[in-house]
Amino acid sequence: MTPTDPGVQAAPARIVNDFSIQIATVNGSGSQTANLVLLRSIFQMGIPVSGKNMFPSNIAGLPTWYTVRANQAGFVARKKEVDFLVAMNPETAREDVMTLDPGRVVLYDEPLKLSALRSDLVFYAVPFDKIVATVCTDAKLRRLVKNMIYDGVLSHLLAIDMGEMEKALRKQFGKKVKAADLNMGALAAGAEYARQHLVKQDPYAIERMDKTRGMILIEGNTASALGAMFGGVTVVAWYPITPSSSLPESLIAYMKKYRIDKDGKATFAIVQAEDEIASIGMVLGAGWAGARAMTSTSGPGISLMSEFAGLAYYAELPGVVFDIQRVGPSTGLPTRTAQGDIATTAMLSHGDTKQVMLIPSSVEECFEMAIEAFDYAERLQQLVFVMSDLDLGMNMWMSHPFTYPEKPFDRGKVLDAAGVRALGAEWGRYLDVDGDGIPYRTLPGTDAPSYFTRGSGHNARGQYSERPDDYQNNMDRLVRKHETAKALLPQPVVEDADADVGIVAFGTTHWAVEESRVQLESEAGIRTAYLRIRAYPFSDAVEAFILRYKRIYVVEQNRDAQMRALMKNDLSSEAGARIRSVLHYNGLPIDARSVTEEILVQEGRSAKQETVAAAVAGMTLARED
């Protein structure tokens, strides 16, 4: 159905501030600028939004999709269904159109002739090349400017305020006034074409709200970089890898701006190492010397860091590792998201190791946990892994402005010479003086006594030892330290309910679960309790929550139920017996509908049956009215 069909019918009932737009283009065509302008324009109109970028791992030329979701209720997980498709890529256009549900909308480049494919969709054809030729005389630039035309068309069709579009566009280009003016011309030309030639047939519209007042849009990697700076990092050693590189790149910019002394000298050291092994080695050396040090990587880098992670655990050296998880194994899908490093990282290295993980679900927590990670690393004297993912790290998320940190740094159990004298014979580098498993340390270059740092067998005073009792005593003390960490680390977020079913999630899975819980209750009458894990090792609250409910669904973005496996390993058999899995591992950010459908299946209630039941209930209510 096209706007020029003689049998065109009136548009159906309006759907306001509750739909998704998927933009299909070619990587390297400059579409990301247009997509961010669209996202920010809707955000500036007060509507909760989210943006998901699915791009190839090459530099240019392959298909890329960007999804903008507007949702008046504030749900920001990826929406499984596409409501409005912008088809700009000839290679994927046919498949993109054929996968749409009936009644959806397609805005497409006129030469693609997509309206011939289906009769149950709304089609808008736009001659992008003809329009861009009127606003851009440089043939080389037209390919980049052309994308801004679909923003202009969408501004008219969806009633997105053109003033907000221009504001977003000029923010995107910053001081590049000529580029902004050129793109503004394309934006206006697209809107004008739509006004003159396109008849509105679809139900979708944007109307102003007031739900984003005072909020910001920021990527998780940028938030983590800010947090690391506020957390006092002075040494950064890293090696480029998608999707983590933008974290140290952002940190470099911030440190150059805010961490230069009055004489113009840097108060930090940032080194791009020759590989991930070298980078983690530098981090541990700096941590041993008393600096707050970090690296940033993804799954392949975590694998390479394994042996050094064991050294940090056994020699008790502080450091922070940001793991921006992606799809594995091996090279895997470098530009797709996952939560596939959970089990590996929890026990990273050979032998018996127990690592510490912080798991942010939002950009606010990226900022906060980046700060806290350095405190925990020094308090516990070991590596702390901040387990983000590609979805959180590289996509724009709404957030309230971050809270300026007021708490002083926690350097942990660091002794000066006077402190060592006060302990006297009670001090040994690996001696558990306080019963919490955490020993006292001194720093090189101070007047405090020195000691040997060993990755080989050692006794409580740091002396080389292969005695069985020394080794076992040391390993048992490290377990006590792990137990101490359970109460020290961020506690889970718990929402109890009068229900039989509980759901456990972590990281970005939270946003799909939040929406799925509403779907389960409104569509199937299933109330759920909820716990969001924020750290490993698990606090006692995790097992207590599981034992309060008959069935527990652990929702995670990996194939092998890695978090469930950790829970069954660490918790009681009674708790483990109640746990089921909801798994999502296709590389796309998890969506609520998939979670809902899988839980309904495992509850013995098919999604199709519940949809029919909900429709019947709606008809019954309508008759009663």
Please indicate, yes or no, if residue 210 is contained in any of the structural domains. no
Residues 378 and 241 in one domain: yes
Sign of the Cα pseudo-torsion (18, 23, 28, 34, in order)? negative
Residues 226 and 338 in one domain: yes
Residues 37 and 153 in one domain: yes
Q: Distance between CA atoms of 123 and 116, rounded to whole angstroms?
A: 10
Radius of gyration of the chain (CA): 27
Cα–Cα separations (whole angstroms), residue 249 to 261, 275, 339: 21, 16, 23
Cα–Cα separations (whole angstroms), residue 235 to 21, 277, 281, 284, 303: 42, 16, 12, 10, 22
Last residue of a domain, one of 453, 488, 523: 488
DSSP type of residue 260: B
Range of the domain at 607: 493-618
Residues 151 and 198 in one domain: yes
Residues 150 and 93 in one domain: yes
Q: Are 581 and 614 in contact (CB under 8 A)?
A: no
Residues 265 and 233 in one domain: yes
Please indicate, yes or no, if residue 404 is contained in any of the structural domains. no
Residues 389 and 300 in one domain: yes
Please indicate, yes or no, if residue 35 is contained in any of the structural domains. yes
Residues 328 and 374 in one domain: yes
Phi and psi angles of residue 617, each rounded to the nearest 5 degrees, phi first: -60, -40
User: Which of 223, 370, 363 is closest to 295 using CA atoms?
Assistant: 370
DSSP type of residue 282: H
pLDDT at 140: 82
Report H helices in 207-275: 220-230, 246-258
User: Which of 39, 51, 55 is closest to 78 using CA atoms?
Assistant: 51
Please indicate, yes or no, if residue 6 is contained in any of the structural domains. no
Please indicate, yes or no, if residue 3 is contained in any of the structural domains. no
Q: Are 473 and 439 in contact (CB under 8 A)?
A: no
Q: Distance between CA atoms of 191 and 150, rounded to whole angstroms?
A: 8
Q: Are 356 and 537 in contact (CB under 8 A)?
A: yes
Q: Are 325 and 337 in contact (CB under 8 A)?
A: yes
Q: Distance between CA atoms of 245 and 279, rounded to whole angstroms?
A: 13
DSSP type of residue 91: T
- 198 Cα distance to chain centroid: 38
Q: Distance between CA atoms of 82 and 18, rounded to whole angstroms?
A: 11
Please indicate, yes or no, if residue 22 is contained in any of the structural domains. yes
DSSP output for 56-70: -SSSSSSEEEEEEEE
Q: Distance between CA atoms of 325 and 342, rounded to whole angstroms?
A: 9
Mean pLDDT in consecutive groups of 10 residues from the start of the chain, 625 residues? 49 89 89 96 98 85 93 97 97 97 97 96 97 90 92 98 97 94 96 97 98 98 98 98 98 97 96 98 97 98 98 98 97 96 98 98 98 98 98 98 96 94 87 96 90 92 96 98 98 98 98 98 98 98 98 98 98 97 98 98 78 49 42
pLDDT at 601: 97
CA angle 401/402/408 to nearest 5° reads: 155
* Residue linked to tokens 């799909």: 512
* Residue linked to tokens 């089990």: 343
Residues 188 and 279 in one domain: no
Q: Distance between CA atoms of 559 and 570, rounded to whole angstroms?
A: 20
pTM for the complete prediction? 0.94
CATH (domain of 196) = 3.40.920.10
Please indicate, yes or no, if residue 213 is contained in any of the structural domains. no
Residue type, 518: V
Residues 192 and 66 in one domain: yes
Q: Distance between CA atoms of 396 and 222, rounded to whole angstroms?
A: 10
Residues 132 and 85 in one domain: yes
Q: Are 32 and 51 in contact (CB under 8 A)?
A: no
Number of domains present in the structure of the chain: 4
- Residues contacting residue 202 through CB under 8 Å, at least 6 positions apart: 11, 84, 105, 122, 157
CATH (domain of 575) = 3.40.50.920
Residue type, 347: M
Please indicate, yes or no, if residue 7 is contained in any of the structural domains. no
